[in-house]
Homo-oligomer: A and B are copies of this chain.
């Protein structure tokens, strides 16, 4: 099926939008009228630019407040102006939204008659009309109602346009879409939205998102539409405050990724399925050699040992049993998570899926005899590797520098999760990326207060929770600070924290007031709470955990014990 995107989804000038849509692989666009009005390009120039880029102008939109008015003359005059513009654009489908004005009458016969007249006029220009119910239309706010009017008007140049937001936001049953003949559905607009309870107009204008980023079941919705025989494009029409200011090229790729996932979910077009994952092969930190000492001291104090040196690159392998952290000295002053490697049952398939989902494949310099690892770039700049440590031999790229660590304690059993703060403009993109490329299950959004403001989080994990990500973003704007942490798993965080404290790991202080409150609000044993107090260990919903102090401005470690039975 053809893939389309409305220009209102993207920021920038109309040229920027067209270029971004074409670069992301869209076949056509919906031209949002204000984008044309603001453009320096004439309609003919827009047509030529779209042609050059291989884009069709599939829909011109919106034409408002047309039908069911006492005196249609002025509206028909207005329509003739738009038909003229559309002819210059080479666009042959006009979206008419249900009337929201006070002049609109609650009269379906009048609406049908006037829409029929409009379709007749349109036909003279080779133009067709797609009539859509806005969720906040004055008298027509429901897709079935809009279809009844279209059916009554009965003109070959008049059909309906279905918009998932307008239908699902009202809680309408999309199953009766199947009763509409597919050839009378002239266009299909798709948008997701987070589950908010708010005025539907505000919800629509500000908080729509791409499929898979919100709470609607769009796969089922699309299946209902396809069951009618609809063969037109799948088109994204998303109004979102953040998307409107973000880089249009990135947004267009994010949009295409969401559409590919929706096509997979709806059975329209398959993707290489995600290969099962079974934990982390390694996490790689990057830091300049000058600034590496604090990171290395912390690793040593946490029980890691410098176990290997890469044959050709300035990369150290640190181990704590089978928990591996790489320290890449080709980094900057502030240490950060540069790469995450997951164990994949089929790294080639994982990388193939990622590429189909438009993840940029990272070029890799490889020395003679070194293992080939597939790596992609996540939206936040983190590299993601797909490995099979037992089979692909990447470990042999490292020359042994010492015995594996962990001899002094077995308190760390692996990597529990990696938490990465995201740039404000690209949070939804990052969530969709990690989830789709790695095939993770998304958890409901969370929110917590910090002294710097509210922070939103989305967690995602694979089937057996051996790979977990936690993505965070400030709720209001970007505060410019990057926070990343690596959470190490432990079977006994109190013992681990005590051992680390004794080895000089700086643990982030938790204040007495916290433990006094813990005694009040939980039935943890007082002696457990006293042990936690002495070790700066926190308790949250069955999870015991402790944080190290920051190493650099934005990086720290956490030790996590899950499934606590003490409480």
User: A residues within 8 Å of B by Cβ?
Assistant: 11-13, 16, 33-34, 36-43, 77-78, 81-82, 85, 196-199, 202, 206, 241-242, 244-245, 424, 449, 451-454, 474-479, 509, 511-514, 516-517, 519-521
Contacts and interface: CB of A to CB of B under 8 A. Distances in A.
Contacts of A514: 37-38
Contacts of A478: 477
A112 B517 CA distance: 26
Which of A34, A199, A206, A451 has the largest count of B CB atoms less than 10 A from its CB?
A: A451
Contact of A476 (B38, B42, B77, B245): B245
Contacts of A85: 513, 516
Contact of A202 (B12, B16, B198, B521): B198
Contacts of A424: 477
A511 B40 contact: yes
Given A245-B452, A476-B477, 8 more contacts: A12-B451, A13-B451, A38-B514, A81-B516, A81-B519, A198-B199, A241-B454, A245-B476
Given A37-B514, A245-B476, A511-B39, A11 B198 contact: no
Contacts of A511: 37-41
Contacts of A13: 451
Contact of A11 (B40, B199, B242, B452): B452
A449 B202 contact: no
B513 A82 contact: no
Nearest to A42: B512
Contact of A199 (B16, B196, B244, B517): B196
Given A451-B13, A453-B11, A476-B242, A517 B37 contact: yes
Query: Which 9 A-B residue pairings sit nearest by Cβ, starting from the closest?
Result: A245-B453, A198-B198, A477-B477, A81-B520, A197-B199, A241-B476, A244-B453, A40-B511, A37-B513
Nearest to A474: B245
18 contacts: A11-B452, A12-B451, A13-B451, A36-B513, A37-B513, A40-B509, A42-B513, A78-B520, A81-B519, A81-B520, A85-B516, A196-B202, A241-B476, A245-B452, A245-B453, A245-B474, A476-B477, A477-B477
Contacts of A206: 475
Nearest to A46: B513
Contact of A479 (B245, B516, B517): B245
Nearest to A80: B520
A216 to B, nearest CB: 17
A202 B453 CA distance: 16
A66 to B, nearest CB: 13
Nearest to A424: B477
A449 B199 contact: no
Nearest to A64: B521
Nearest to A203: B198
Given A198-B196, A199-B198, A474-B245, A513 B39 contact: yes
Contacts of A202: 196-198
A565 to B, nearest CB: 20
B516 A11 contact: no
Contacts of A38: 451, 511, 513-514
Contacts of A78: 520-521
Nearest to A244: B453
Contacts of A197: 198-199, 202
A414 B42 CA distance: 37
Contacts of A520: 77-78, 81-82
A117 to B, nearest CB: 18
Nearest to A512: B42
Nearest to A516: B85
A514 B245 CA distance: 22
Contacts of A16: 451
Contacts of A477: 245, 424, 476-478
Contacts of A40: 509, 511
A12 B450 CA distance: 8
A414 to B, nearest CB: 30
Contacts of A36: 513
Contacts of A454: 241, 244-245
A421 B351 CA distance: 46
Contacts of A476: 241-242, 244-245, 477
A42 to B, nearest CB: 6
Contacts of A12: 451
Nearest to A242: B476
Contacts of A479: 245
A81 B516 CA distance: 8
A424 B476 CA distance: 10
A449 B244 CA distance: 9
A506 to B, nearest CB: 16
A16 B196 CA distance: 34
A509 B40 CA distance: 9
A512 B85 CA distance: 12
A511 B36 CA distance: 10
A424 to B, nearest CB: 6
A181 to B, nearest CB: 33
A547 to B, nearest CB: 14
Contacts of A33: 517
Contacts of A196: 198-199, 202
